[in-house]
């Protein structure tokens, strides 16, 4: 007997306006017009956000408005620790704004706050968060795992914040790449802002951004990080992916809200033992 839980129809009706905007972003980039590319990207983002049912919540990461700059890349220095591990992780996640792997989170936190988060600490953190939620000890947000899009099971490798809308906490076939591009652009903007206010942190952050931008064609030219260049290259590659990823996320979130209790919308579903024919529980 087939276990047919998954019904999702993967064919999407594409948003023609969005597709056209995405194409114009690519053209602007090819013409070397970074400012135009960034402007068109903002338009595209708004377009995609318009067609969502839920607006982004207050906790969403603010846009950093600042003129783009060029920041030299240098190696990080040893960090000083001041906040608790949990605070560091939550703070880093808030600024990153998309589902994030533990390692990237740790690298970012070290550069940004000067604090190292050990992988072991993150494993303990997951456990503690769940316990805290169960006891409903009031916290504004919890660190929760991202959810995969078929059965909404937790994906332990990716961390998110509970106050993000469900759309932002789901992982679909384009999501990982789209999120990476979005984060890279976001961190490039942040880097530009920080380079004026806190050059030491900016230096550390620059090497993180350089590592992330490495996989984006056209983002890096030489060793220094040109934040405008990184941002527009990321935006250009993101545009066609977002056109596919955003509608997927909307549909998956709608399904999840219809099917799942609130607890599972946060923590994911743990699917019980599946019986198949006459082989009970046998591998």
Q: Based on CB atoms, which residue is closest to other proteins, 202 or 236? A: 236
Q: Is the alpha carbon torsion for 174, 36, 43, 21 positive or negative?
A: negative
In sequence order, which ranges of the chain are alpha helices (DSSP H)?
Answer: 16-30, 34-50, 85-96, 102-113, 119-134, 166-169, 175-197, 199-213, 227-259, 262-267
Contact 223, 207 (CB under 8 A): no
Q: Based on CB atoms, which residue is closest to other proteins, 1 or 258? A: 1
**Piece of the chain touching other proteins by CB under 8 A; list 62-70, 88-96, 201-209, 272-280:** 272-280
| C-alpha closest to that of 61 among 94, 89, 93 | 94
Please identify which residue in 151, 199, 221, 257 interacts with other proteins, judged by CB under 8 A. Answer: 151
Contact 152, 264 (CB under 8 A): yes
Q: Which of residues 232-261 bind other proteins (CB under 8 A)?
A: 237, 240-241, 244
Contact 40, 28 (CB under 8 A): yes
**Binding of other proteins by 74 (CB under 8 A):** no
**Binding of other proteins by 16 (CB under 8 A):** no
Give the contact letters, 175-214, x = binds to other proteins (CB under 8 A), - = no: xxxxxxx------------------------------x--
**Binding of other proteins by 108 (CB under 8 A):** no
Query: Per the structure block, which two tokens stand in for 101?
Result: 């792997």
Please identify which residue in 6, 13, 32, 262 interacts with other proteins, judged by CB under 8 A. Answer: 6
Burial state string for 105-123 with b = 16 or more CB within 10 A and e = fewer than 16 = bbbbbbbbbbbbbeeebbe
**Partners of residue 100 on adjacent β-strands:** 159
Nearest approach, Cβ of 80 to other proteins (angstroms)? 23
**Piece of the chain touching other proteins by CB under 8 A; list 51-59, 83-91, 108-116, 142-150:** 142-150
**Strand pairing class (170-171; 143-148):** parallel
Q: Based on CB atoms, which residue is closest to other proteins, 44 or 115? A: 44
Q: Which residues bind other proteins (CB under 8 A)?
A: 2-6, 10-11, 147-148, 150-151, 153-158, 171-181, 212, 215-216, 237, 240-241, 244, 270-274, 276, 280-283
């Amino acid at each position: 007997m087939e276990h047919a839980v998954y019904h999702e129809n993967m064919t999407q009706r594409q948003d023609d306006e969005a597709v056209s905007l995405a194409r114009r972003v690519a053209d602007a980039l090819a013409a070397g017009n970074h400012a135009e590319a960034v402007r068109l990207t903002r338009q595209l983002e708004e377009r995609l956000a318009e067609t969502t049912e839920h607006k982004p919540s207050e906790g969403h990461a603010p846009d950093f408005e600042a003129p783009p700059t060029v920041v030299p890349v240098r190696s990080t220095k040893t960090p000083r620790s001041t906040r608790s591990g949990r605070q560091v992780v939550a703070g880093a996640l808030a600024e990153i704004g998309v589902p994030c792997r533990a390692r990237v989170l740790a690298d970012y936190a070290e550069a940004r706050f000067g604090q190292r988060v050990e992988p072991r600490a993150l494993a303990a953190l997951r456990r503690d968060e769940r316990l805290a939620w169960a006891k409903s000890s009031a916290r504004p947000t919890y660190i929760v795992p991202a959810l995969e899009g078929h059965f909404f099971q937790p994906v332990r490798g990716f961390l998110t914040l509970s106050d993000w809308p469900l759309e932002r906490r789901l992982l679909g076939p384009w999501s990982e790449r789209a999120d990476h591009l979005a984060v890279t652009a976001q961190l490039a903007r942040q880097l530009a802002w920080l380079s004026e206010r806190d050059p030491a942190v900016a230096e550390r952050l620059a090497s993180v951004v350089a590592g992330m931008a490495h996989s984006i064609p056209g983002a890096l030219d030489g060793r220094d990080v040109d934040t405008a260049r990184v941002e527009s290259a990321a935006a250009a590659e993101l545009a066609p992916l977002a056109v596919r990823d955003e509608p997927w996320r909307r549909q998956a979130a709608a399904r999840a809200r219809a099917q799942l209790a609130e607890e599972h919308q946060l923590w994911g579903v743990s699917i019980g033992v599946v019986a198949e024919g006459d082989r009970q529980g046998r591998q």
